[in-house]
Amino acid sequence: MAVSAIPEGLTISLTVILSLGMQRILKKKALVRRLVAAEALGSVTVIATDKTGTLTEGIMRVTETQIKNLDDALDVACYANNLDDPIEFALWDWVSKNNVDPEARNKHILRQKEVPFDSINKYMSVTIDHTTYLKGAPEVVLKFAKITGSEKKKILDQVAEWSKKGLRIIAFAKKSPKHTKYTWIGLIAIEDPVRKGLVKVFEDCFRAGIRVVMITGDYIGTAEAVWRQVTNGHDREIIAVTGEELDKIVTEKLKWLDLLPAKDNLPSDISGGMKKRVGIARALTSNPEILLYDEPTSGLDPVLSNVFNELILRLQKELKVTSIVVTHDMESAFKIANRISFIYEGVVLFCGSPEEIKSTNNEIVQQFINGRTKGPMILDHSEEELKKQKH
């Protein structure tokens, strides 16, 4: 017979506590739809946040320009514009401030072709009367444009200078039918102010031991400048990683673990052994000195178990990673271990090399490693046997 040891009022108390948490969150202008969400917030260790419109106000305006031809720049700002986001609204407003009606300018045009902006290509282009107008990230537009090495250096220096101020930078170019390369038009810098009060929010997160990560498609210098503002210099060293660098790291780790062919597979499409190797790949991205394994060969057939054993040995030999393995698989332990600690009922009974543990006189250790059913080990933890052991 089992007797409940849970107090009657515990459920009610927890409900009241979580409800009070929801009310406190609501006062911060955040609505909690599910009660357990208040509890989940208390266990958060990492926050991944967008930049534009989250850390910044999302109210943008053009503050700096470096352009060769104003009319060409106004054309790009008008034509390569769908008014889909705050940047395009800022460009539309900039055209208006230059005494041009963007709506009237767009009224009678016919787009022959459009390549919409996306986070991978990082540019948008439209073709009107066989002339293509291009806007996008400076490093991308520069690849399309016909430009000298010295001009490119000046442009990149300007981009670096503006990005240190936290400005978002858009590049313009155009291509006429008689040219194969784009003509460089110039740069537009857009200000997106950081939201007030974020410094305290970040300080609270850091005090609570919460790691905050900012994810953005912006130029890396702009991202670093915004991060310095919101963290108030809390992080002495900013670790900024581009999408290309992340992809390189992922590819490198998957290749090392022979998982590259499965790179684009969904979790549901990979086997149990693959999932275990994916777990190691994720751990290796931070270049650890120590890896902890919990029953790594559990659920694997003998062949895959040996594959995993060899993988652990490779990590030790090639990457100099120390492995701590918790396992009941003694065959695996003897293959991969330099030293083995045998723990029984919370006590370390033996610690030594595989050869030493095989030759020990400890009866419990010998019973376990040889898989004998007869011996001093308690195989059935019944209440009566536990009492005998204590006495």
The residue out of 179, 209, 240 marking a domain boundary is 240
Mean pLDDT, range 39-67, rounded to an integer: 86
Percent with pLDDT over 70 in the chain: 90
CA distance 212 to 235: 11
Residue 311 resides in a domain: no
CA distance 234 to 229: 10
* pLDDT over 80 (residue 374): yes
Angle at 91 between CA 69 and CA 67, to 5 degrees: 20
Give the active site residues: 50
Whether 121 and 183 share a structural domain: yes
Mean pLDDT, range 359-378, rounded to an integer: 88
Residue 337 resides in a domain: no
pLDDT, position 182: 95
Whether 161 and 213 share a structural domain: yes
Residue 114 resides in a domain: yes
**pLDDT tens for each residue of 136-158:** 999 999 999 999 999 999 999 99
DSSP, residue by residue, 182-210: BEEEEEEEEE-PBPTTHHHHHHHHHHTT-
pLDDT, position 37: 66
What dihedral do alpha carbons 344, 345, 348, 349 form, nearest 10°? -50
pLDDT, position 13: 72
Residue 350 resides in a domain: no
Mean pLDDT, range 111-124, rounded to an integer: 89
Whether 188 and 57 share a structural domain: yes
Nearest CA to 229 out of 45, 34, 14, 57 is that of 57
Q: Burial code of 292-315, b = ≥16 C-beta within 10 A, e = fewer?
A: ebeebbeebeeebbebbbebbeeb
Q: What is the CATH number of the domain that holds 191?
A: 3.40.1110.10
126 vs 6, residue with greater confidence:
126
Mean pLDDT, range 351-375, rounded to an integer: 90
Q: How many domains does the chain have?
A: 2
* pLDDT over 60 (residue 381): no
**SS3 breakdown of the chain: % helix, strand, coil, rounded to 5?**
45, 20, 35
Whether 40 and 86 share a structural domain: no
The residue out of 217, 240, 263 marking a domain boundary is 240
Which of the given ranges, 29-38, 218-227, 263-272, has the highest pLDDT on average?
Answer: 218-227
User: pLDDT category, 335, cuts 50, 70, 90?
Assistant: very high
Pick from 93-102, 336-345, 381-390: least confident: 381-390
Residue 234 resides in a domain: yes
**pLDDT tens for each residue of 231-245:** 886 655 677 888 888
CA distance 272 to 276: 6
Tell me the average pLDDT of the chain. Answer: 85
CA distance 18 to 327: 39
Nearest CA to 259 out of 270, 246, 245, 248 is that of 270
pLDDT, position 353: 93
Residue 165 resides in a domain: yes
Determine the 3-state secondary structure of 112 from DSSP. strand
The residue out of 201, 217, 240 marking a domain boundary is 240
Whether 56 and 172 share a structural domain: yes
Which amino acid, one-letter code, is at 42? Answer: G
CA distance 223 to 34: 33
Whether 31 and 80 share a structural domain: no
Pick from 50-54, 76-80, 207-211, 239-243: least confident: 239-243
Whether 35 and 73 share a structural domain: no
Residue 203 resides in a domain: yes
Whether 56 and 43 share a structural domain: no
Pick from 182-191, 218-227, 265-274, 291-300: least confident: 265-274
* pLDDT over 60 (residue 230): yes
Which amino acid, one-letter code, is at 322? Answer: T
Under 8 Å between Cβ of 142 and 135: no
Question: Is the backbone of residue 300 left (phi > 0), alpha (psi -120 to 50) or beta?
Answer: beta
pLDDT, position 236: 58
Whether 232 and 118 share a structural domain: yes
Residue 342 resides in a domain: no
* pLDDT over 80 (residue 41): no
Mean pLDDT, range 12-39, rounded to an integer: 72
pLDDT, position 250: 84
Whether 230 and 190 share a structural domain: yes
* pLDDT over 90 (residue 264): no
Range of the domain at 81: 51-240
Whether 43 and 147 share a structural domain: no
Whether 70 and 215 share a structural domain: yes
pLDDT, position 134: 96
Percent with pLDDT over 90 in the chain: 35
* pLDDT over 70 (residue 36): no
